[in-house]
């Protein structure tokens, strides 16, 4: 069995390789959330507001991270007890 030489990938090359598919995946996920606004689904104004707030907050975290400010994020879920969104 031949030894394979390790190919060293620069941080810039790794960024370029990963950025496009990850961004495309994020956009596809947002498209799927957008589909929830269609006639096949029903939700409350409170649920819509919670989703918009969660997405807005996460996008701001992404923008901050790209600008060099990084904070930990929670996971979105509806709180069925009082109708408010929670981060886990």
Q: Look at residue 85 in the predicted model and tell me its pLDDT.
A: 58
Q: Look at residue 69 in the predicted model and tell me its pLDDT.
A: 83
Question: Are the C-beta atoms of 33 and 55 separated by less than 8 Å?
Answer: yes
Q: Look at residue 77 in the predicted model and tell me its pLDDT.
A: 79
pLDDT-based confidence at 83, cuts 50/70/90? low
d(CA 61, CA 70): 7
What is the DSSP secondary-structure string of the chain? -PPPPPPPPPHHHHHHHHHHHHHHHHHHHHHHHHHTTSTT----HHHHHHHHHHHHHHHHHHHHHHTT-------EEE-TTTS-EEE-
Q: What is the pLDDT of residues 46-63, one digit of tens each?
A: 999 999 999 999 999 999
Across the strands, what pairs with 85? 78
Q: Look at residue 6 in the predicted model and tell me its pLDDT.
A: 73
Q: What is the average pLDDT across 40-44?
A: 96
């Amino acid at each position: 069995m031949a030894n394979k030489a390790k190919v060293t990938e620069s941080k810039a090359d790794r960024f370029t390789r990963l950025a496009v598919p990850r961004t495309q995946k994020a956009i596809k996920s947002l498209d799927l959330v957008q589909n929830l606004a269609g006639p096949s689904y029903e939700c409350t104004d409170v649920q819509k507001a919670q989703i918009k707030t969660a997405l807005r907050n996460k996008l701001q975290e992404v923008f901050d991270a790209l600008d060099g400010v990084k904070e930990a994020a929670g996971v979105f879920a509806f709180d069925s007890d009082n109708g408010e969104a929670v981060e886990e």
